[in-house]
Amino acid sequence: MKNIDSKGHVRGESIYLDDIPMRVGTLYGDIYDAPCAHGKIKSVDYSEAEQFPGVVKILTHQDVSGENQIGGIFPDEPLFAEDEIHFWGMPIALIIAETEYIARQARKLIKIDIEKLPAIVDPKEAKAKGSLIFPPRTFKLGDVEAAWEGCDYVFEGSADSGGQEHLYIETQGAYAYLMENGNVRIASSTQGPTAVQRTVAKVLGVPMHKVEVDVTRLGGGFGGKEDQATAWGVMAALATTALKRPVKIALHRMDDMRMTGKRHPYRSDFKIGLNKDLKITAYEVTFYQNAGAAADLSPAVMERTLFHATNSYYIPNVTATAYSCRTHLPPNTAFRGFGGPQGMFVMESAIAKAARELGVEPHEIQQRNLLKDGDEFPYGQIVDHAEALSTWENAVDKFKLQSLRQEVDDFNSHNKHLKKGIAMQPVCFGISFTNTPMNNARALVHIYSDGSVGVSTGAVEMGQGVNTKMLQVAASTFSIDPAKVKLETTNTTRVANTSPSAASSTADLNGKALQIACDKLLERLKETAAKVLKSEVTYILLQDDQVYCEGKPTELSWEQLVQAAFLDRVCLTENGHYATPVIHFDKAKEKGHPFAYHVYGTAILVVTVDCIRGTYVFDAVKLVHDFGKSMNEHIDLGQIEGGLVQGIGWMTMEDLQYNDEGKLLSNALSTYKVPDIYSVPKEIIVEALETEGHEMAILKSKAVGEPPLMYGLGAYFAIQDAIRAYNPDYQMKFDAPFTPEKVLNGLYEKSNVSVPGV
Ligand code: LUZ
Ligand code: MOS
């Protein structure tokens, strides 16, 4: 089954927000945002901008009819700044004009008088000043304090990881227009149509039923549109309601980069204890999450950091504490992996540090501590269906780790200024929203009287191929040609109260709901078939395209069956509701069974570092991944490759730079480097682990969205391995991203290494 969007994408026919034909009278909105990170607004002068020809209105917090509040988890985020500025890029006003160009010209004429206040950009500084988003949380297993005594080795260190720009190709935006009776309809580039609907209702001060949100597809989300697509949808809805004309907002790239939050940067301190046999017996870690200026999804992201603090390893004594620190950066938000990668980076750093100190290879420690069935995660869930060892052993055997290592060593002994490095990267990722109530979905299925099928779910297509998977679920349940099934847009009037498309769970949750709806319809159709075939009832049947005849059939085509059911007045519409069974979590005890299942895998990464330039090329990434029984190998492979490269980008080249005043310096693609076709690994081999799949996964095909990003963690450690081959004096640091500048410093730190002639 090919991705149903391939042809449309290649031909440029797929509809994104910017492809929606404009209604007559459409106005354009542009955002006036804060020109500093922290301060008090003394006055804003809009007079010149308001008089600019073509400007229709400038909206501020004073024009909000309901609440000026868009915070999802906590109400701490105003839609428009009132008296205070909390981050550089915080929206202050919305300029509505006849054209986008005019709105942008007028923006330059707004004058503001601010009393600037000092900005905090570092999470540890925020913590020291008591600036937390909410109280810290601690996950505990065993007793670390008691365990240190018994450890043969104990090492301490710190590990920091940077943020990451989502860089969805389609920037944030929305298009809103009025229906009758003041009802508003919003086409939104959002992963969370219900979040937009709920927030529009709150800001306008109207019930949710007056707000309809419709999503055809997104040009990428990666978490950046789970919560942060909302503001623009709300602004468009507010303006269209105020002005009674359609209003479109589509952010320019640099505005998007400046105003929106990113992956959370983290700073962390760790302490790891091991025994002589390289078993990790104790691990203590403290995370300082840079939440930015408002909660957004930070509490949930922080929670997932704690869930994944020990990655694929069983450690009997663990204390993991996390602080969500309020700083003056734009509110950081969901990003593929959702805090998990940040937690796992510290674990891997601790292992790398211990390995270095003990003179062993990190993979010797990694391998001895992999999870097995019956082990306990620090959050109380007992490991079952563990594939940590099986993916590891498969990777070691299939890709011949020993000979890869040998090749790297041989290369290094024959090359002076090029050095190769190698790293193993196991991954274990929990599938389910960590917030248990969010694990539900619905689907609405119509079988039309001609046998064609229309499917609506809460799933948002953002390039991940979920619509194709939904179509497969319907077609396979009905045993019909996939061409008979159409996926409708994601719309809050057809499927309500949805969780965002996120947490790698979209296909599982919506697919299971769809399966339930299809199964109910199938049962009904079977009853009709039994009646017809037993000749209890005779119907006029549709045969051979449009020919009607009467008779006693001995077999029924799908179309005949549907027609017969229709004539027998059987309901051909059904709704399915799915809520993940089994899962639960007790936040008071920090124990439970939060995940439906885990996804596992192991990657081997090989890199070549140019020791004169500090640049690097990934020669190969070879991995064994636990797909379960993949329902669509093309789509799943695409997710693995994309996730891997995104993870490598985060670990190596994507370098978000803010100055001390909280201004984003890497604010365009000229200063913020993302992986391109030249920087993807030269060779990517993905082997599927052979398993029976998991019952909790849709068609036993495991979630595949986020887990592969974390293979990219190995990029950091492979580069470190190469640097060590060049510079034995290199002091290990854990400070991602490992940019070429940092690599160069690592290669030449310590004065006793001669710098090659330039
Ligand atoms: N979003 C969310 C997520 O709200 N809860 C989660 O647990 C999650 N996990 C991954 C990605 N997005
Ligand atoms: Mo996400 S980080 O699953 O929106």
Instruction: Express each pLDDT in 286-312 by its tens digit.
Output: 999 999 999 999 999 999 999 999 999
Q: Which of 223-237, 295-309, 529-543, 587-601 has the lowest mean pLDDT?
A: 529-543
* Choice from 338, 498, 508, 650 to test ligand 2 binding pocket (greatest atom count within 8 A of CB): 338
Q: Report cis status (omega within 30 of 0) of the bond before 681.
A: no
Strands (E), 235-356: 247-250, 266-274, 280-292, 317-326
Q: Could you give the percent of the chain with pLDDT greater than 90?
A: 94
Residue 587 CA to ligand 1 center (angstroms) comes to: 16
Residue 301 CA to ligand 2 center (angstroms) comes to: 10
| Beta carbon of 168 within 6 Å of any ligand 2 atom | no
Query: What does the pLDDT average to over 228-255?
Result: 98
Q: Is the pLDDT of residue 414 over 80?
A: yes
- pLDDT tens column, 141-163: 999 999 999 999 999 999 999 99
Phi-psi domain of 23 (left: phi exceeds 0; alpha: psi -120 through 50; beta: other)? beta
Mean pLDDT of the chain: 96
Q: Give the separation between CA 570 and CA 563, rounded to whole angstroms.
A: 10
Catalytic residue among 48, 706, 741, 749: 706
Q: Give the separation between CA 556 and CA 101, rounded to whole angstroms.
A: 60
Q: Give the separation between CA 459 and CA 690, rounded to whole angstroms.
A: 28
Q: Which of 478-482, 558-562, 705-709, 751-755 has the lowest mean pLDDT?
A: 751-755
**Which ligand 2 atom sits closest to the C-alpha of 337?**
2
Residue pair 274/317 in contact (Cβ under 8 Å)? The answer is no
User: Whose Cα sits closest to atom 4 in ligand 2?
Assistant: 223
Query: Which amino acid is it at 141?
Result: L
Q: Which ligand is nearest to the CA of 304?
A: 1
Over 629-666, what HEC string results? CCCCHHHHHHHHHHHHHHHHHHHHCCCCCECCCCCECC
Q: So what's the pLDDT on residue 545? A: 47
Q: So what's the pLDDT on residue 184? A: 98
CB-neighbour burial class of residue 485 (10 A; exposed 0-12, middle 13-18, buried 19+): buried
Q: Which ligand is nearest to the CA of 224?
A: 2
- Told to judge if 706 belongs to the known catalytic residues of this protein, a careful annotator would answer yes
Q: Give the separation between CA 28 and CA 102, rounded to whole angstroms.
A: 9
Q: Is the pLDDT of residue 109 over 80?
A: yes
Grade residue 556 by pLDDT with cuts at 50, 70 and 90.
Answer: confident
Grade residue 758 by pLDDT with cuts at 50, 70 and 90.
Answer: very low
Structure token pair of residue 151: 């450890």
Q: Is the pLDDT of residue 526 over 60?
A: yes
Residue 335 CA to ligand 1 center (angstroms) comes to: 9
Residue 221 CA to ligand 2 center (angstroms) comes to: 8
- Give the number of other Cβ atoms within 10 Å of residue 11's Cβ: 8
Query: What does the pLDDT average to over 434-447?
Result: 98
Q: So what's the pLDDT on residue 541? A: 57
Q: Is the pLDDT of residue 538 over 90?
A: no
| Beta carbon of 435 within 6 Å of any ligand 1 atom | yes
Q: Is the pLDDT of residue 525 over 60?
A: yes
| Beta carbon of 717 within 6 Å of any ligand 1 atom | no
DSSP per position, 470-510: HHHHHHHHHT--GGGEEEPPEETTTS-SPPPS-TT-HHHHH
Q: Which domains are seen in the chain, by residue range?
A: 6-117+172-250 (3.90.1170.50), 266-433+589-748 (3.30.365.10), 440-579 (3.30.365.10)
- Chain centroid to CA 665: 24
Q: Is the pLDDT of residue 115 over 80?
A: yes
Q: Give the separation between CA 9 and CA 20, rounded to whole angstroms.
A: 15
- pLDDT tens column, 351-372: 999 999 999 999 999 999 999 9
Q: So what's the pLDDT on residue 547? A: 42
The SS3 of residue 704 is coil
| Beta carbon of 431 within 6 Å of any ligand 2 atom | no
Q: Give the separation between CA 294 and CA 296, rounded to whole angstroms.
A: 6
Q: So what's the pLDDT on residue 180? A: 97
Q: How many CA atoms lie within 13 A of 558 on its CB side?
A: 18
Residue pair 258/334 in contact (Cβ under 8 Å)? The answer is no
Question: What are the backbone dihedrals phi and psi of residue 261, each rounded to the nearest 5 degrees, phi first?
Answer: -80, 170
Q: Give the separation between CA 303 and CA 55, rounded to whole angstroms.
A: 45
**Which ligand 2 atom sits closest to the C-alpha of 505?**
3
Structure token pair of residue 133: 């988003």
Q: Could you give the percent of the chain with pLDDT greater than 70?
A: 97
Q: Is the pLDDT of residue 539 over 70?
A: no
| Beta carbon of 304 within 6 Å of any ligand 1 atom | yes
| Beta carbon of 304 within 6 Å of any ligand 2 atom | no
pTM of the model: 0.96
Grade residue 555 by pLDDT with cuts at 50, 70 and 90.
Answer: confident
Residue 342 CA to ligand 2 center (angstroms) comes to: 14
